[in-house]
């Protein structure tokens, strides 16, 4: 199935049923790993909103949720700098922190977020991402613990990911063709 967004063509890459199955698996892993703890899930907006909302429905342990907003894209290109638009509003000192990302490509946004969170002196940091582009990552991350799908270095939209602000609402994930 092909679609067009803002004069750019995309084809179906991952359908929503695959995403839902992966979310159930990650939810089980999180429930087991954090069974006797109360982690703080830190979502990186805007992209994580669909993934995090659906993931949290699979998390059945006591937990807290907060968000930060970072900006690293201009259209379909990664920007040279990552900007913090909305910062943390919850103390993370001594807490188990799980960062929720929609996608890790260069890793620049994640690097900045981890550095910000480390300043808060959490007990631990784990990263949960829906999509990971191993060939695009420019940093080493020991914190990446939960990965939905490893994908090629394609530009993708849907399920929270956008192109010029469009397509975040699509339930499936599409790649540019």
Specify whether 154 is catalytic: no
Which residue out of 102, 105, 162, 172 is catalytically annotated? 105
Taking the C-alpha atoms of residue 21 and residue 1, their distance in angstroms, rounded to an integer, is 21
Cα distances (Å, whole numbers) of residue 128 to 27, 81, 154, 165: 10, 22, 20, 23
H-run or E-run covering 73:
strand 64-74
As a whole number of angstroms, the distance between CA 142 and CA 112 comes to: 14
Could you say which DSSP state residue 103 is in? E
Order of strands, edge to edge, in the sheet holding 156-157?
2-5, 8-14, 173-176, 156-157
Angle at 153 between CA 151 and CA 156, to 5 degrees: 75
Which are the catalytic amino acids? 105
């Amino acid at each position: 199935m092909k679609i067009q967004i803002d004069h750019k063509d995309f084809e179906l890459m991952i359908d929503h049923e695959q995403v839902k199955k992966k979310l159930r698996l990650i939810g089980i892993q999180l429930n087991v790993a954090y069974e006797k703890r109360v982690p703080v899930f830190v979502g990186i907006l805007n992209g994580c909103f669909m993934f995090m909302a659906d993931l949290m429905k699979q998390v059945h342990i006591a937990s807290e949720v907060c968000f930060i907003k970072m900006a690293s894209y201009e259209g379909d290109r990664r920007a040279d700098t990552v900007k913090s638009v909305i910062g943390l509003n919850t103390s993370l000192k001594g807490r188990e922190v799980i960062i929720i990302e929609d996608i890790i490509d260069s890793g620049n946004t994640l690097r900045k977020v981890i550095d910000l969170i480390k300043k808060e002196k959490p007990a631990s940091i784990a990263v949960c991402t829906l999509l990971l582009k191993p060939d695009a990552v420019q940093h080493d991350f020991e914190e990446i613990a939960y990965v939905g799908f490893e994908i090629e270095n394609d530009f993708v939209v849907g399920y929270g990911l956008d192109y010029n602000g469009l397509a975040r609402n699509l339930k499936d994930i599409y790649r540019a063709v």
